[in-house]
Structure 1
């Protein structure tokens, strides 16, 4: 029986899973790692990623109870825009700059100021450019830590670091490169002219020398990696990519007109098109980065589940989610006058403003923790609606949105998303979308499936549908207008 080992390297932990070729998860293991938070800056130690990958993989294989020789392929998804500078041996020269780190906001503006043709992916060339992305962060290294930049043999991502440790190959994912490095598979590849205008042409030589599409085989395990994992060296390592994009596969969103939302520390929203779309307030569209001959349109929220984690840290104890959900569900829409702006770590879309910040507005002495809890969920729901509105203005609409990740654990949050957006929310049988998507890609790389679409048909199983409640949607329509007024009003205060 062919089995696949997957990993989902998230913001706070790595989860490994073992799947069979029918899409059944046979075993799972999660291991946390440390994240260092400072205002506007977030870092991790790449060596923690590798050790966590090994420990979680071994735990998942043990939990699955399958012989090592039944693992035929490995595929994984990781956080995107988590940038790391490495020496010739693949060792980190400094802590990795995490995806949610927005220190490079000045460099992002410098990228936009070039007016390079590659910026068509940024609101049709009108921008903005996000401080989260590869080139702004690399430019920040060049400007602020020039000795690290010059010494770096490779500047790449979390995904590429794991690939190198597994295979000894320097290979970037077409998914990450097309999504965040301004790589254009149909228009000459790397954005060389953009790097030239920024004064960092040498960055292109520091990037991995191969670009491999999701589902294609990068190589097999090195002897050292096979020994650490306890697997045969013949195991194929199949290219994955950004956790959210690989999550699209795991949600079964692969046809034009479908919408996907990956939830966790952040939210990401995606659609699939047969023709390119470029518009202000929308990222993309990106050619071929997940599926051949299709484009991906994107929106995203920087802080979502991470706000609930912040709330837990603020209270000094783990939140009692069962009790909070029950009390919050009893509140009417609007949490009795409390409104949250969800920009705790800046805004991705539709504003793309790294300096915007979160806010709790309308507090009174009668509000309790469950009011803030519900209002936070509602604020995140409004942020999602703003993104779907931007999609619609660009010409892309969907009749329902398929959701995976952390929000699926809360029926209340799912209902709030359906009510604030005014469209049904679908949850597949397995909401662990990046892992399921990685399993599909592993099946393609192992030769079990001819295409990603075929793998989706076999491994992704239907789940449940949450319909919006008309009364709540009407109530939220009015509250949403006040949410939309928050950003321009607060921008004047915070700028």
Structure 2
């Protein structure tokens, strides 16, 4: 009998990738990556029509092309025949959400709508709906809406309802034309199966579903006509690891896989990674670190954690409460500094030595003692997701002198993101939800210096995912469950997941030194984020001048 395999497809911010995985032990046999031709639409549509400030859209045709390109290429790289594949699973960034007609065709692909920005999918980091999010939160608090407590008292501009309200208020015609308002995680399953499904994960974390959506009365109080959204999202919800259906003829033609194989219910990139990293037990916080960081964790305790992105029963694995929090900018902040802050002599040195800018600055920063640079930064260059839930905040750097060097600033930015994670952990602990272990996945695992820094700052052992394809591996694990190869998500995680336990442990001396810097970070965090409006004032001045 030939080896049985499953395929996991991970849709990221700039590219999609497929990985072929052995059902028996999770061995990764082959993979392929495809970069989206349109990347992220932030300035203008493909037609040239301009976009406003803080927009972030994508093109659905790029997502289809991922399936067309990566699945056959990954099979070829693995030396595996299509008839050995028993299932396929996918994951997506969230909340990446789009309007479609009743047949699931994105509105931006219909005649006459290609120049309408609101007809396109809104990427997770579309922050132009902050005003709508503020009103959603204020009215929910005023009315005492019970669901608000499950989201730490605030929902984000990144989420479904804020983005949908922006569509209604800025392009009511597009809102009316949208028969369905659907997460990309579910839309791609529609493309594969030929039928609509909805997953509990995105509904719970991004669609404020808590045994039901917000009431019609509340939505009408927000904006007349907004309750029509309920019909656009209404659909039975499926749990993680369930079978969405069989691969349709169109899906088979798109991927080159056999018609009828199992297709797993859609999932979110960070949440699906938990099974890949074997972070499925209470107290194991998974940080998926890349351009941003998403923190997910299971617990047997239900707590009200300020500023979390949601707590959903069975949201990650069955039988536990699944929590989510996050940081809107991490790797993006480091990349920004390299673009804007690297002097010519540093660029020349990196080139001469065959190093990247990141490698050069990390090497120089690692020579310093903790606190030697005299700086503290706030990691809000792309706003704050948790725990303040305010995307109008911006970055802060304190302590610069004429002697400050690029490596000083770079290290302060690395430390700021670690302090942001510790702030989230502390919020969970104060709410009675214990965090005993930090498990890290994502592209930033490539920096041992950064990983050790996180262990020292958080004072927790840090385990690492032993795979460069965490979300895709997690999607493949869910595909194996959907295909019946394993009896459940936990069993599949134990058999197919990959983890290096306690890869980094905190150094007590450095941890003590970081406590002093963290105290300053916390003071700045509360001053600029809670008590002062100076960052909002600056944003207002900038927007008025733009």
After superposing the two structures, state which structure 1 stretch, 196-205 or 261-270, moved more.
196-205
For 2:484, the equivalent position in structure 1 comes to: 447
CA RMSD, 1 decimal: 1.9
1:492 to 511, 530, 533: 533
1:410 to 447, 462, 475: 447
1:208, distance to aligned residue in structure 2 (A): 5.8
Cα deviations across residues 190-216 of structure 1 (Å, max 9, x unaligned)? 333443443422112212633222111
- Equivalent-residue separation in structure 1 for 2:442 and 2:221 (angstroms): 39
- Which is strand-richer, 1 or 2? 1
For 1:74, the equivalent position in structure 2 comes to: 88
Counterparts of 1:48-59 in structure 2 under 5 Å? Answer: 48-59=62-73
- Equivalent-residue separation in structure 2 for 1:484 and 1:47 (angstroms): 44
1:285, distance to aligned residue in structure 2 (A): 2.0
1:365, distance to aligned residue in structure 2 (A): 3.3
Check 1:486–1:319 CA distance in 2 against 1; reply closer, same or farther (3 A cut).
Answer: farther
Cα deviations across residues 146-178 of structure 1 (Å, max 9, x unaligned)? 111111121111112211111111112111001
Counterpart contact for 2:4–2:84, Cα < 8 Å: yes
Matched, 1:461 2:464: no
- Equivalent-residue separation in structure 1 for 2:236 and 2:68 (angstroms): 25
- Equivalent-residue separation in structure 2 for 1:129 and 1:213 (angstroms): 23
Check 1:58–1:315 CA distance in 2 against 1; reply closer, same or farther (3 A cut).
Answer: farther
Matched, 1:106 2:131: yes
2:369 to 321, 332, 340: 332
1:315, distance to aligned residue in structure 2 (A): 5.8
Q: Secondary structure at the match of 2:499?
A: coil
- Equivalent-residue separation in structure 2 for 1:358 and 1:153 (angstroms): 39
Give the alignment's TM-score, normalised by structure 1: 0.94
Cα deviations across residues 463-487 of structure 1 (Å, max 9, x unaligned)? 1520111111111111111112223
> Which is greater in Rg?
2
- Equivalent-residue separation in structure 2 for 1:26 and 1:454 (angstroms): 21
Check 1:453–1:398 CA distance in 2 against 1; reply closer, same or farther (3 A cut).
Answer: same
Structure 1 unaligned blocks of 5 or more: none
2:327 to 285, 301, 315: 301
- Equivalent-residue separation in structure 2 for 1:429 and 1:160 (angstroms): 28
For 1:281, the equivalent position in structure 2 comes to: 307
Q: Secondary structure at the match of 1:73?
A: strand
For 2:360, the equivalent position in structure 1 comes to: 323
Check 1:250–1:195 CA distance in 2 against 1; reply closer, same or farther (3 A cut).
Answer: farther
Check 1:332–1:53 CA distance in 2 against 1; reply closer, same or farther (3 A cut).
Answer: farther
Check 1:37–1:483 CA distance in 2 against 1; reply closer, same or farther (3 A cut).
Answer: farther
Counterpart contact for 2:282–2:300, Cα < 8 Å: yes
Counterpart contact for 2:8–2:474, Cα < 8 Å: no
Cα deviations across residues 10-46 of structure 1 (Å, max 9, x unaligned)? 1121121110111111111112221123542222112
Structure 2 unaligned blocks of 5 or more: 44-52, 109-118, 348-354, 537-546
Cα deviations across residues 427-486 of structure 1 (Å, max 9, x unaligned)? 132253212221211111110111111011101133152011111111111111111222
Matched, 1:191 2:214: yes
- Equivalent-residue separation in structure 1 for 2:372 and 2:393 (angstroms): 23
- Equivalent-residue separation in structure 1 for 2:285 and 2:377 (angstroms): 25
For 2:114, the equivalent position in structure 1 comes to: none
